[in-house]
Amino acid sequence: MIPRLKPLIGLKEIAAAIPKGYDAGIGDVDRFEVAFADVMGQKHAVAFPYGRTGLLFLIEALGLKGREIICPAYTCVVVPHAIVYSKNIPVFVDCEPTGFNMDLEQAESRITSRTGAIIATSLFGYPVDLDKLQKIRSRHPHLHIIQDCAHSFAAEWNGRQVQREGVAAIFGLNISKLITSIFGGMVTTDDDKIYQRLKISIHGKLKPSNWIKELKRTLYLLAIYPTFNRQVYDWVNRIERLKLLNTFVKYYDVNKIDMPDDYLQHMSNVEARTGIINLNRYRKIVENRRSAANYYFSTIQNMNDFILPPRVNGATYSHFVVQVKNRNEWLKKALIKGIQLGWLIEYNIPEMSVYRNNDPSVFPYSYKYARTTINLPVWGGARQAKKVVERLFR
Ligand SMILES: *Cc1c(COP(=O)(O)O)cnc(C)c1O
């Protein structure tokens, strides 16, 4: 069985998770921040328990309250949740006609005197159009541009890395992301003032990690490792496997705007140590995804019922997202052939009951992608992509 997603974690991460003594690991979070900022080519990185907590604190650090914040209709639902938690109002914008990212022309048309920020997301590893973004910035210099890089470690638009082109960037680091620190998130910025403010609010508002959290996260990591091990993976029954994997990506309730219970408890040291090790693998991780995507592009054709995603220079393909007419049929068909397909964002946020004040017909692309997208595995590089193609299309 080829699972739909798999973190690239090895024995090094497991070894890093083992505490070296009672007070060992002090400063691990600081070390992770320094390493992360270095890899991203930014002056500062600030760690958070989740990416959404980072976004929430960042919005607060920008001094935004009671303002409108423009964000994609097709993105992870934690993004508008964080906007609401920060006491601002999400304004949703549909995808561009040629891809999954937010339509920046439409976004610009939604700017009003109440708009405080735009969250530009490089979805599925597709770099946001930095030229268009720059034009918006020059016409609306008071607006803050926040880069959501949860899927786009070092994605590039014409050679420029997306995370560096805004006031700050946010990253998610849970087990389903490119780089993982078990859970966790990061905010990166070159702005000293924002960095100071983030540090001050962390000090004031985040509870420190404690031994319970350290233990919980350690156990979680130890449980994850064999789960993704191939032999064990093949061994567990299929239904269980699906359920288990869903717990990694099912994080929302359509009837509630909420946050995890521990969203205000700081990143644990075990997460930071895991993240530091995993960060070293990021080149390999991105390389695997790119080579898998290239293999798919060169061997799979658009068919009636199978539409390939756009091919874009500088994309990191955190997910290889095709559109199909009958998603369940493909899921079943693939499972029989030993491949687990899945989807990442199967909702159009404005349609969710908690955000219902928006008219779904205004978001035709987001509406469509929510119903038709399915992901082919990319974590195992071209070799694995070859297996997938051989099994699926033979
Ligand atoms: C994962 C993700 C985040 C952050 O998620 P957390 O689970 O809070 O770390 C933000 N934006 C997008 C698009 C994501 O996929």
How do residues 287-306 score in pLDDT, each as one tens digit? Answer: 999 999 999 999 998 776 78
In this prediction the pTM is 0.93
- The mean pLDDT value for 102-112 works out to 97
Residue 22 has pLDDT above 80, yes or no: no
Q: pLDDT higher for 333 or 196?
A: 196
For the CA atoms of 165, 167, 173, 179, what is the dihedral angle to 10 degrees? Answer: 20
Does the Cβ of 186 fall within 6 Å of ligand 1?
Answer: no
Confidence of residue 182 (pLDDT cuts 50, 70, 90): very high
Residue 239 has pLDDT above 80, yes or no: no
CA angle, corner 385, sides to 235 and 297, nearest 5?
Answer: 150
Q: What percent of the chain has pLDDT over 70?
A: 90
- The mean pLDDT value for 107-112 works out to 97
- Give the distance (Å) from ligand 1 centre to CA of residue 303: 32
Does the Cβ of 377 fall within 6 Å of ligand 1?
Answer: no
Does the Cβ of 148 fall within 6 Å of ligand 1?
Answer: yes
Does the Cβ of 309 fall within 6 Å of ligand 1?
Answer: no
- Give the distance (Å) from ligand 1 centre to CA of residue 191: 22
Q: Of 211-215, 245-249, 307-311, where does mean pLDDT reach its minimum?
A: 245-249
pLDDT of residue 241: 54
- Give the distance (Å) from ligand 1 centre to CA of residue 356: 21
- Give the distance (Å) from ligand 1 centre to CA of residue 168: 15
Read off the tokens for 293.
Answer: 């995507």
Alpha-carbon span 235 to 228, nearest angstrom? 11
Does the Cβ of 185 fall within 6 Å of ligand 1?
Answer: yes
DSSP state letter for 55: H
Read off the tokens for 307.
Answer: 């539409």
Q: pLDDT higher for 223 or 385?
A: 385
Q: Report whether 312 contacts 361 (CB < 8 A).
A: no
Residue 369 has pLDDT above 80, yes or no: yes
Mean pLDDT taken over the chain = 90
What residues contact 247, with CB distance under 8 A and at least 6 apart? none
Residue 370 has pLDDT above 60, yes or no: yes
Confidence of residue 141 (pLDDT cuts 50, 70, 90): very high
Alpha-carbon span 41 to 59, nearest angstrom? 22
Does the Cβ of 174 fall within 6 Å of ligand 1?
Answer: yes
What residues contact 44, with CB distance under 8 A and at least 6 apart? 33, 37, 188, 189, 190, 191, 192, 195
pLDDT digits (tens, 9 = 90+) for 316-363: 999 999 999 999 899 888 988 989 888 889 899 998 889 876 566 789
Residue 235 has pLDDT above 60, yes or no: no
Confidence of residue 137 (pLDDT cuts 50, 70, 90): very high
Q: pLDDT higher for 101 or 343?
A: 101
pLDDT of residue 233: 54
Q: Report whether 275 contacts 181 (CB < 8 A).
A: yes
Ligand 1 atom 13, closest CA: 76
Q: pLDDT higher for 352 or 21?
A: 352
Does the Cβ of 51 fall within 6 Å of ligand 1?
Answer: yes
Q: Which atom of ligand 1 is nearest to the CA of 121?
A: 13
Residue 232 has pLDDT above 80, yes or no: no
Element (H, E) at 147: strand 144-148
- The mean pLDDT value for 155-168 works out to 96
Does the Cβ of 81 fall within 6 Å of ligand 1?
Answer: no
pLDDT digits (tens, 9 = 90+) for 35-90: 999 999 999 999 999 999 999 999 999 999 999 999 999 999 999 999 999 999 99
